Amino acid sequence: MISAGKFPKFEDKIRQLGSYGGGNHFGECEAVQISDNDRARRAAEIFGLRDGCVAFLSHCGSRGFGYALAQGQFQTLQNKFAAWSIPLPGDDKELVYAPLGTPEADNYIDDMLINQLVIEAFQEIIPGTSGQLVYFISHNIARREIVNNQECWVHRKGATRAFPTNHFALKDTPFYETGHPILLPGNPTAGSCVMVADPGAEKSCYSVNHGAGRAKGRKAAIRELDQKTVDDEFVAHDIVTNCRTYPKDEAPAAYNDFNEVLKSVRLAGLASEVARLRAHFVIKDSDDSLKGAA
């Protein structure tokens, strides 16, 4: 149950549900480039990706609303740790936890919600256009899984599940032969990537990072990057956006080198590339009241 009394500016935040949510959320219309090897081509066929065709990658959520939920949960668990005189893991107050089966754990799981509205507009512009969903996944979710031969909860925050070929959890699904898709956003100029897990993903509890990660904090990016240089880069790469000026804190230069990120994933034995997605149109949303939070 969600109570308006728990949230400052509740009426403003509730309207974020179904929006892109600002921050690092986006929608991208992209061209698909399948990797040139048999495994990638077979995986792409099963996923429904077609070389040279158009894909749309959507990364969205309600940041302010979700942030308020998370902060409330953190505060509750931090208070419990203090009352029970339990030392903080790694002396980090954001690593608090609740034992499974306790009211605190149940309330936390119940609060892990996201509401997403996908609007199909292609047919309004190009009548007769058809498409299919490749994969839908939340990258802030907890699931019961088997780790080291025992059942436990795996909580992925900013990460995505990465079960490889023949993993028992994929039995009787289309992905048993390939492993299921891993969606790894990069940045508009470098592209994004669809990957599949390798056996080495077992080392990371079958998890892979969901994105390139920031090279500059939001305030540092706004302070240090030049707006004209940011906007000119989109022009040079023939990328159209709905932004009069692209947010500097979301500029490609604010993020780590995407090719190096992919290289690290491959060298760690976690996953292999199936297709690169090259952006041609980018949709960004914003909410100035969030001040770059979350």
- The residue whose two tokens read 């998890």 is 207
d(CA 239, CA 3): 42
Cβ-Cβ contacts under 8 Å for 12 (sequence gap 6 or more): 64, 289
One-character DSSP codes across 209-229: ESS--BSS-HHHHHHHS-HHH
In what helix (H) or strand (E) does residue 144 lie, and over which residues does it extend? Answer: strand 140-147
The answer to whether 183 and 222 have CB atoms below 8 angstroms apart is no
Looking at residue 88, the DSSP 8-state letter turns out to be: P
How many helices and strands in the chain, by DSSP H and E? 8, 10
Could you tell me which of 154, 198, 204 has the C-alpha nearest to residue 180?
A: 198
Strand pairing report for 271-283 and 240-241: parallel
d(CA 40, CA 231): 34
Indicate which residue of 25, 139, 167, 210 is catalytic: 210
In what helix (H) or strand (E) does residue 80 lie, and over which residues does it extend? Answer: helix 63-84
Q: Please list, residue by residue across 174-213, b when 16 or more beta carbons sit within 10 angstroms of its beta carbon and e when fewer do.
A: ebbebbbbbbbbbbbbbbbbbbbbbebbbebbbbbbbbbe
Could you tell me which of 224, 206, 228, 202 has the C-alpha nearest to residue 215?
A: 224
Q: In the annotation, is 210 catalytic?
A: yes
Nearest-5° Cα angle at 48, 44 to 53? 85
Q: Which residues are catalytic?
A: 210
